[in-house]
């Protein structure tokens, strides 16, 4: 924590196509910002223009960049801001809102914006890096990531499609186990492995400078189904098949490319990757108290 900052210029990017952002959000944000008397520019990207909007916002060198979008956009904004760039406020504008929930609790984006403008404080946020990509909450490597398409279908209300995708994910489970090594400890094998940052882990304090690793190793199809459902619901850490331990670095490898979820977003990784802890990824503006 580094205290309350002076906010003279703010850039806000509102992705109205995101799950938790409506078409009226830009105007509502302008009203809140105007009420606090700050010089602000609000951008609402068109199709394919999101990254360009983010870059314009960061390149303008404001005191604060506010993001009203999903988890993938929040992670991209954190990469652009970095530890020495403008402060970042990733407000809840997506469907899962993993990072916003860790910073702002259950506050709506309107209440979170009001809170940080009224009495916000700077907080340095660490994260993990895998294959040159950041994650600020959690990275899941292996078969649970295959359930992401089923999760998306559930969000869209397409339960028939969700069931078909879940069946496909279950068939692909056990197609090849992962091998991993954590810090200098002995190697292990698992169906999947996850790495949690302190803000995403109930076992680590926010000030801890490390990751929590969880080896996920279901014993059969029934346990794999349960683990997949828990992964789809974001509750995989409590699964009995998870075995956890702290680490600062790790390596994961498999016979072929690795399916993965980085802060809830699906990606495809090479067959061998290294995961490292980065203590200073970005500075965020958080409320002093979180509900």
For residue 27, pLDDT beyond 80: yes
Contact present, 203 and 244 (Cβ < 8 Å): yes
Name which residue leads in pLDDT, 176 or 19. 19
pLDDT value at residue 162 = 45
3-state secondary structure (DSSP) of residue 147: helix
Q: Which domains does the chain have, with CATH numbers?
A: 9-127+282-287 (3.40.50.10330), 138-262 (2.60.200.40)
pLDDT digit string (tens) for 164-218?
555 565 555 545 678 999 997 778 888 888 888 888 776 677 677 899 888 877 5
User: DSSP H helical segments within the chain, as ranges?
Assistant: 25-35, 50-59, 71-81, 98-104, 109-119, 148-155, 159-172, 221-232
Contact present, 250 and 277 (Cβ < 8 Å): no
What pTM, to 2 d.p., does this model score? Answer: 0.80
pLDDT digit string (tens) for 105-128?
999 999 999 999 999 999 999 999
3-state secondary structure (DSSP) of residue 128: strand
């Amino acid at each position: 924590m580094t205290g309350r900052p002076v906010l003279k210029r703010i850039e806000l990017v509102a992705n109205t196509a995101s799950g938790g952002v409506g078409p009226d959000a830009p105007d509502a944000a302008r009203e809140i910002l105007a009420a606090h008397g700050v010089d602000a520019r609000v951008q609402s990207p068109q199709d394919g223009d999101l990254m360009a909007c983010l870059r314009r916002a960061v390149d303008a060198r404001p005191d604060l960049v506010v993001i009203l979008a999903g988890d993938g956009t929040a992670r991209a904004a954190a990469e652009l801001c970095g530890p020495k760039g403008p402060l970042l406020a990733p407000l809840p504008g997506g469907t899962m809102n993993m990072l916003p929930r860790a910073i702002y609790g259950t506050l709506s984006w309107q209440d979170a914006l009001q809170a940080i403008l009224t009495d916000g404080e700077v907080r340095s946020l660490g994260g993990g890096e895998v294959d040159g990509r950041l994650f600020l909450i959690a990275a899941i490597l292996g078969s649970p990531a295959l359930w992401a398409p089923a999760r998306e279908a559930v969000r869209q209300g397409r339960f028939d499609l969700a069931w078909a995708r879940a069946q496909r994910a279950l068939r692909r489970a056990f197609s090849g186990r992962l091998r991993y090594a954590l810090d200098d400890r002995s190697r292990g094998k698992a169906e999947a492995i996850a790495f949690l940052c302190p803000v995403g882990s109930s076992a680590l304090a926010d000030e801890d400078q490390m990751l929590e690793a969880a080896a996920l190793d279901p014993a059969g199809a029934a346990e794999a189904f349960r683990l997949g459902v828990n992964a789809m619901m974001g509750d995989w850490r409590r699964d009995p098949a998870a075995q956890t331990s702290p680490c600062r670095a790790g390596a994961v490898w498999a016979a072929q490319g690795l399916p993965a979820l980085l802060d809830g977003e699906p990606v495809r990784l090479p067959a061998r990757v290294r995961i490292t802890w980065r203590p200073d990824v970005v500075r965020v503006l958080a409320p002093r108290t979180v509900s």
